[in-house]
Amino acid sequence: MSKKNHVFKAEIQQVLDLVIHSLYSKKEIFLRELISNASDAIDRAQYLGLTDKSVTADAPQWKIDIIADKDNKTLMICDNGMGMSEEEMDKNLGVIASSGTKAFTEALKQKQEVNVPELIGQFGVGFYSAFMVAEEVTVISLKRGEGQKAVRWTSTGNGTYSLEDAARDKPGTTIALKLREGMDEFFDTWRIRELVKKYSNFIAYPIRFGEKGEAPKDDAEALNTMKALWKRSKSDVKQEEYDEFYTHISHDHQAPLKVVPIAAEGQIEFKALLFIPKSAGMDLFMPNNKHGLSLYVRNVFIGADFDLLLPEYLRFVKGVVDSSDLPLNVSREMLQDDAVIRKIKSNITGKILSTLAEMQKDAPADYNTFFTGFGRILKEGLHFDYENTDKLKGLVLFHSAKRENNGFISLKEYVAAMPEAQKEIYYLISDDLQTAKQSPHIEVVSQYGYDILFLTDPVDAYIIDRLSDYEGKKLVPLDKGHLELGSDEEKSVAKRKLEDAATEFKALTEVLKEQLKEEISEVRFSPRLTDSACCLVAPEHAMNASMERMMRAMNQEVPKQLRILELNPSHELIKKMNTMVAANGADPVLKDYADLLLGQALLGEGNPPKDPQRFTRLVTNLMTRG
């Protein structure tokens, strides 16, 4: 065949300009695309060889070779796959976005073939990424089978290409790139090795490298591992292999806490290999740091940090997802959100949550380790993931007032341990455990012998509304609203005592209301207190003190909120002040005592007094008089 010149059958210059300048974010992607095409060519040859022995009559050792010739500015990607005829080369390389792989797959489906090979080259533009780095591209191919002739395809990407006969002894395809100025990095062994490891490490065929224009020797070491662990049965993989792969993708020096393989079949098919780390890295809490899963399509790396595959509250999970069903954009660099993505995300989320539930049941020590590192992140799901609220309620842990060293307890364990007389779940939101344990709000509940959940993570204030109840038991805050404990008779007795106190100490409450009217909305007698003289309580639907502090720390505007001052009628201080009011309600010392009482209540909830200097002077004066 004499040399023939052809015009690309599309608005080639516009499309090539798009490919070269806009479609791909990194020039290095060209190598991934060409290696992917070579892998597909071998897959086709293997598949057709099952029924047509002439295709694989030479009993090839399948391979992909990359050959650098720095002196001649040429980089070659060679495979011994199916190869192309003149007609196929004209059709597949002469029409932009016409994919031979796609046509091959569709043809097999129309014949109702079973076990159709899963091929990656579905878009037909990957080949043209070569023009990002090459001023001229030459393709020499010999199709497998009897009576085939080698063909050469050549183009500079200027709108035309040529086809002519070529010399090639063995079936397969060689793509030769005449690299542009400034592309010398792609001749270096370390750079090629890096890119193969990054994008094509799990291609099923050995990828070898040769320098100085010479093909690799037969015993040349493969640049890729060829071990796509997610494609193998868990029983066939050693833990050391999982640990090594986890280190490879996460850069974590510790072994993972849990390995989670997924093989989904049916309407949506994908495989995943996920890891739950032992501890949180510093990057997990850094703002604007990307977190997500690595995406592969038929063992070819597409990209990392694909957060559409994983909800934000599971961002600590590391791993890979491999599926040909994923809707990528044409450059294969971005996921497009659609029903397939949502189904895969739902499947992955469900698997992770069920794995955590199994760990919680079967390996509680491991689960405590996990929750110590990632519990505050997992809790975020209660605020965002309504679909899995019930599952998450079972997974979250809180510090227990009754457990040794205030160890973790689940809501299920809390409810199981509740005395028969206890009808509600009690909790206190606080900045830290020490403040929570010393809070006056817990006194009477502790006296009853009831456990208290200490919510000390910053996220707790945001998610508590999603935890309004558990197994029919209402969650009750100890620093908000009204509190009633015990049997009906005990509640009735407590109510009468508070009513009697309100009558006995009416004059005192009036003095306190007047003096503290800028800071409190009400003075009443408390069912919560046994040892402390007073405490501050938020209205039932208002923010508590911890939430206010957190909002201010985030520079959020917090409207002034007047809380309720609750008094302990049995406390000697309250009795003393009541005696002073009876003797002289206008005694100026009562105003000082009122301010001291408020300061004491603020300190008890973890806040500073409104006027620390005045509070200090009043305490000093009181000590001096004493």
Long-range Cβ pairs for the range 165-169 (8 Å, 24+):
165/1, 165/2, 166/140, 168/140, 168/141, 168/142
Under 8 Å CB-to-CB from 496, ≥6 apart: which residues?
A: none
| Per-residue pLDDT, 224 | 93
| Per-residue pLDDT, 326 | 67
Q: What are the phi and psi torsion angles at 30 (to 5°)?
A: -55, -40
| Per-residue pLDDT, 5 | 78
| Per-residue pLDDT, 249 | 84
| Per-residue pLDDT, 17 | 66
Report the length, in residues, of the chain. 626
Long-range Cβ pairs for the range 412-419 (8 Å, 24+):
412/470, 412/471, 414/451, 414/453, 415/470, 415/471, 415/473, 417/451, 418/450, 418/451, 418/473, 419/449, 419/450
Identify the DSSP state of 310: S
Residue-wise pLDDT tens digits, 167-180: 999 999 999 999 99
| Per-residue pLDDT, 507 | 93
| SS3 readout for 318-329 | EEEEECCCCCEC
**530 neighbors 573 (Cβ within 8 angstroms):** no
Residue 224 sits at the vertex; the CA angle it makes with 218 and 229, to the nearest 5 degrees, is: 130
Identify the DSSP state of 215: P
In sign, the C-alpha dihedral spanning 535, 539, 540, 541 is negative
First vs last C-alpha separation in the chain: 115
| Per-residue pLDDT, 99 | 47
| Per-residue pLDDT, 1 | 65
Residue-wise pLDDT tens digits, 77-102: 999 999 999 988 888 776 654 444 44
Strand, coil or helix: 564:
strand
Spans of the chain, pLDDT less than 70: 1-2, 8-25, 94-125, 282-283, 285-290, 305, 326-337, 626
Rounded to two decimals, the pTM is 0.79
**Domain architecture of the chain: domains with CATH:** 4-210 (3.30.565.10), 229-362 (3.30.230.80), 396-477 (3.40.50.11260), 493-538+558-625 (1.20.120.790)
| Per-residue pLDDT, 334 | 56
Percent residues over pLDDT 70 in the chain: 88
| Per-residue pLDDT, 403 | 94
Q: What are the phi and psi torsion angles at 93 (to 5°)?
A: -105, -10
* Residue of 596, 597, 598 lying closest to 616 (CA atoms): 596
Token pair listed for 505 = 């100490």
| Per-residue pLDDT, 101 | 45
Which one-letter amino acid corresponds to residue 340? V
Average pLDDT, the chain: 86
Cα distance between residue 119 and residue 127, in whole Å: 15
| Per-residue pLDDT, 541 | 78
Cα distance between residue 163 and residue 153, in whole Å: 5
